[in-house]
């Protein structure tokens, strides 16, 4: 079992108007939670769909659990679990029936009761699919991905569109998967999700992997482990003059200024003094640790949310 769960070399996929995946190399070890982080349109979903066998690649090699699509397609399908970005089920089918039905497609299966417990859908087990909330539908999709007791699970933006509480409960399910020894590969454009769940990450942009590593190592690679934020009541003013006075780059975003710094302790007194002198009408000062968002910003010059 020294084989990696997944090994990808030189994966490429071009659509008529855009090169969606542009030479992606990845390796996911068994038992880890691996995240593909990137903005919308970075090529995460296309990459995942090629791995899942839904889309055909233009080039590159994929090895899943030591198997290849060309030779062992059915075996791969039997051993992986997939949650699509949007799982469209029939309206008038209940979660219990869905789980029974999809379970019947596999040689090996987990019990429906077990799965309903896992995703806390017992009380909605016999309600029609259309009557489920977004979070409940998403949890059902997660349960469906586990119906065959898979070794490798793919989750495409599992928490997009969910409220914070629903996200937390989904995170718990993902952590359970890991504790059960499964390998999980997920995509997300939430950096907090990536930090909270993933053992390792690949940051994608424009179809390319621009950085790989653990969340901590990626952040540590930044020379600027901290960020000081000045928040304003309303839109933040133009920071150019202040930046010159402080002799320090200041990023302006919506209602705050961000000043990245390797040494917040030294910066802070200078900053407050300069703000006082320039009569900057800020509300509060925060010092925070740099995040994956800053890593992305640093590498691409753009924000994840743009």
Partner 1 sequence: MMLWRQFVMEWRLYSRDRVAMFWTFAFPVILLMGFGTIFRDGGGPKLSLVRVQAPVPSARDTALDQALTDLQLKVQTLPKAEAEARWARGETAAQLETEGTGYRLRLNSYLMAQAGATAGLVNQAWLVAQARLNGEPEPQRIPIQVESPGHKHSTNYASFLLPGLLGLNLVSMGLFSVGMVNVSYREKGKFRRLAVTPLPKWIFLLGQVLHRLTVTVIQAGILLLVGRLAFGIQNQGSFLDLLLIMTLGTGCFMAFGFALSGFAETSEGYAAISNLVFFPLMMLSGVYFTLDSAPAWLQHAVAVMPLAPFLRALRAVFNDGGTLAGHGVGLAIVAAWGCAAFALAVRRFRWA
Residue 108 sits in the site that holds partner 1 (CB under 8 A)? no
The residue from 37, 38, 102, 153 that contacts partner 1 (CB under 8 A) is 102
Phi then psi dihedrals of residue 125, to 5 deg: -60, -30
| Angle CA 44–256–275, to nearest 5 | 145
CA atoms of 242 and 182, how far apart (whole Å): 51
Residue 56 sits in the site that holds partner 1 (CB under 8 A)? no
Strand order in the sheet with 226-232: 251-253, 256-261, 226-232, 282-289
Q: Which is nearer to partner 1, 52 or 293 (CB)?
A: 52
The residue from 28, 62, 84, 201 that contacts partner 1 (CB under 8 A) is 84
Nearest to 206 by CA among 56, 46, 59: 46
Sign for the pseudo-dihedral over CA of 110, 115, 117, 122? negative
Taking the complex as a whole, how short is the minimal distance between the CB of residue 268 and partner 1, in angstroms? Answer: 52
Residue 227 sits in the site that holds partner 1 (CB under 8 A)? no
Q: Which is nearer to partner 1, 18 or 54 (CB)?
A: 54
Taking the complex as a whole, how short is the minimal distance between the CB of residue 61 and partner 1, in angstroms? Answer: 20
The residue from 25, 97, 149, 251 that contacts partner 1 (CB under 8 A) is 97
CA atoms of 257 and 35, how far apart (whole Å): 29
Residue 87 sits in the site that holds partner 1 (CB under 8 A)? yes
The residue from 32, 52, 193, 294 that contacts partner 1 (CB under 8 A) is 52
Nearest to 201 by CA among 267, 71, 280, 291: 291
The residue from 14, 19, 67, 78 that contacts partner 1 (CB under 8 A) is 78
Residue 105 sits in the site that holds partner 1 (CB under 8 A)? yes
Q: Which is nearer to partner 1, 104 or 179 (CB)?
A: 104
Candidate segments 77-85, 197-205, 217-225, 286-294, binder of partner 1 by CB under 8 A? 77-85
- CB 27, CB 183: distance < 8 Å: no
Nearest to 192 by CA among 48, 260, 288, 84: 288
The DSSP call for residue 131 is G
The residue from 5, 80, 121, 267 that contacts partner 1 (CB under 8 A) is 80
Q: Which is nearer to partner 1, 48 or 202 (CB)?
A: 48
Q: Which is nearer to partner 1, 143 or 218 (CB)?
A: 143
- CB 196, CB 216: distance < 8 Å: no
Residue 93 sits in the site that holds partner 1 (CB under 8 A)? yes
The SS3 call for residue 170 is helix
| Angle CA 86–84–9, to nearest 5 | 140
Residue 54 sits in the site that holds partner 1 (CB under 8 A)? yes
Which residues lie near partner 1 (CB under 8 A)? 52-54, 74, 77-78, 80, 82, 84, 86-90, 92-93, 97, 100-102, 104-107, 128, 144
């Amino acid at each position: 079992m020294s084989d990696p769960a997944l090994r990808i070399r030189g994966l490429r996929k071009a659509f008529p108007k855009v090169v969606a995946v542009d030479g992606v190399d990845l390796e996911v070890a068994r038992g880890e939670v691996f995240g593909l982080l990137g903005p919308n349109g970075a090529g995460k979903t296309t990459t995942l769909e090629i791995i899942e066998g839904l889309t055909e690649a233009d080039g590159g090699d994929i090895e899943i659990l030591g198997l290849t699509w060309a030779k062992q397609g059915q075996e791969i399908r039997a051993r992986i679990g997939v949650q699509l970005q949007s799982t469209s089920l029939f309206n008038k089918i209940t979660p219990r029936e869905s789980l029974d039905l999809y379970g019947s497609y596999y040689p090996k299966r987990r019990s429906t009761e077990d799965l309903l417990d896992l995703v806390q859908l017992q009380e909605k087990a016999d309600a029609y699919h259309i009557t489920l909330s977004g979070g409940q539908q998403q949890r059902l999709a997660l349960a469906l991905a586990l119906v065959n007791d898979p070794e490798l699970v793919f989750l495409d933006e599992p928490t997009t569109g969910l409220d914070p509480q629903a996200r937390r409960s989904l995170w718990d399910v993902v952590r359970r998967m890991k504790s059960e020894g499964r390998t999980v590969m997920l995509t997300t454009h939430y950096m907090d999700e990536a930090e909270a769940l993933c053992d390792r990450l690949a940051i994608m942009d424009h179809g390319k992997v621009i950085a790989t590593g653990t969340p901590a190592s990626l952040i540590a690679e930044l020379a600027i482990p901290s960020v000081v934020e000045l928040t304003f009541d309303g839109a933040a003013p133009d920071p150019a003059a202040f930046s010159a006075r402080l002799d320090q780059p200041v990023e302006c975003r919506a209602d705050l200024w961000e000043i990245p710094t390797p040494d917040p302790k030294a910066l802070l007194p200078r900053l407050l003094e300069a703000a006082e002198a320039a009569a900057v009408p800020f509300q509060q000062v925060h010092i925070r640790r740099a995040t994956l968002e800053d890593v992305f910003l640093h590498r691409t010059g753009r924000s994840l949310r743009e």
